[in-house]
Amino acid sequence: MTVNQRLPSSLTPLDVALAALLHGVEPVLPVELPLVETLRCIAVDRPPSGALPPHDIAASDGFALCSRDLAGASSYSPLPLAALPAWVEAGEAIPEGCDCVLDSDSVDQSGPMPLVLAEAIPGQGVRRAGGDIAAGSPIVEAGRPVLAGDLLIARAAGIARLKVRRPRLRIVNIPGGTVTSATIAESATTAGADVGSITATGRDAASIAAAIDRAACDLLLLIGGSGIGRTDAAVTALAASGELIAHGIAVQPGRTSAVGRVGNTPVVVLPGAPDHAFAAWWTLALPVLDRLSGRRPRKTLTLPLARKIASSVGIAEIVLLARNQGTWVTLAAGDLSLDAIARAEAWLTVPGVAEGYAAGTAVDAYMLRE
């Protein structure tokens, strides 16, 4: 006999559910990984770089000379040289006593004596020591994601590995929610998690619980089966496998989300519908992942609202935003279409204690693309 999941008569406030979920959660231990595996992971320390280049080098092919010796040289008044100056290729060290590089057209080699046909200033055609990276500059910023530019600097500095935090996030996908599961997995990977997925063999509680038992991780997501339909059993499986903290969160969309624990592992049950899943991902799961990663608080962008946002008291409401002429324009509020999710630049939560925000109010929004 199937026993339907039931939502409680009153929903758990979003901030209460999140606080309970975060209780006792600490950053995972750092690991040292090859550069190729650290992209988007959260850096742990700030390894310093040596100066790059370590000494003055030629920025282009040409003749290495001392600019002081070339004063007055021109095509009308060539400067004769006793010998042909040293030729350097781009990237080669500048010879002692030289501080500039002239191209081949600036030195006439047709006669018995080379003639310089142009002046130069100190540093012309030269990349100074430390010109690319100053000595002691940090390769990455601790507590922030490792980005492609950081990897460029690390490789140039000769660093092969970085110390990062990369929490293990496992997804138990309830059959029927493949699109949502794949999209959440991509978002989690972008957030720096080591993501793995398991699909339960069925939508019944026993099949879901069996998948939960195989998901060793730092954060567990169940996707789908959180509602009160006849085939929804994810919350029942969570309660049987560990501790159910709350089912029914006062957030729109995402009311049927749930939070709990299996042992010491925090668990978030995301609804199968993409808009409801993303609301729960942004407001519940992502803060836990950030805590596990040791990430610094996410940056927000503060802009005034172009139009009023109306919201119901008692329910935290998710709003999707885009920028237009220095203001936030609302794309969707509470009811999030896939098109709005795809086009949104940022999101914010209107707290359950507020009725919304007036036009012109400056609001802090979390950017969806860093």
Give the right CATH number for 57-124 from 3.40.50.300, 2.170.190.11, 2.60.40.10, 3.30.70.20: 2.170.190.11
Instruction: Give φ, ψ of 302 to 5 degrees.
Output: -100, 120
So what's the pLDDT on residue 355?
86
CATH number of 31-54+129-166: 3.90.105
So what's the pLDDT on residue 260?
97
So what's the pLDDT on residue 157?
83
Reduced to 3 states (helix: H, G, I; strand: E, B; else coil), residue 284 is helix
CATH number of 300-367: 2.40.340
Q: In the structure encoding, which two tokens stand for residue 134, read together?
A: 């100053």
Give the right CATH number for 12-28+167-293 from 3.40.50.2300, 3.40.50.1100, 3.20.20.70, 3.40.980.10: 3.40.980.10
**What confidence tens digit (pLDDT) does each residue in 233-276 have?**
999 999 999 999 999 999 999 999 999 999 999 999 999 999 99
Every domain of the chain and the residues it spans = 12-28+167-293, 31-54+129-166, 57-124, 300-367
**What confidence tens digit (pLDDT) does each residue in 202-223 have?**
999 999 999 998 778 999 999 9
What pTM, to 2 d.p., does this model score?
0.83
Q: In the structure encoding, which two tokens stand for residue 359, read together?
A: 């036009």
**Per-residue confidence of the chain (370 residues) as pLDDT tens digits?**
455 678 877 899 999 999 999 999 999 999 999 999 999 999 998 777 778 888 999 999 999 999 999 999 999 999 999 899 999 999 999 999 999 999 999 999 998 999 999 999 999 999 999 888 888 777 888 999 999 999 998 888 888 999 999 999 999 999 976 779 999 999 999 999 999 999 999 999 999 999 998 778 999 999 999 988 888 899 999 999 999 999 999 999 999 999 999 999 999 999 999 999 999 999 999 999 999 999 999 989 999 999 999 888 889 999 999 999 999 999 999 899 999 999 999 999 999 888 899 999 999 999 998 6
325-360 per-residue burial string, b: 16 or more CB within 10 A, e: under 16:
eebbebbbbbebeeebbeebbbbbbbebeeebbeee
264-295 per-residue burial string, b: 16 or more CB within 10 A, e: under 16:
ebbbbbbbbbbbbbbbbbbbbbbbbbbbbbbb
Instruction: Give φ, ψ of 168 to 5 degrees.
Output: -85, 115
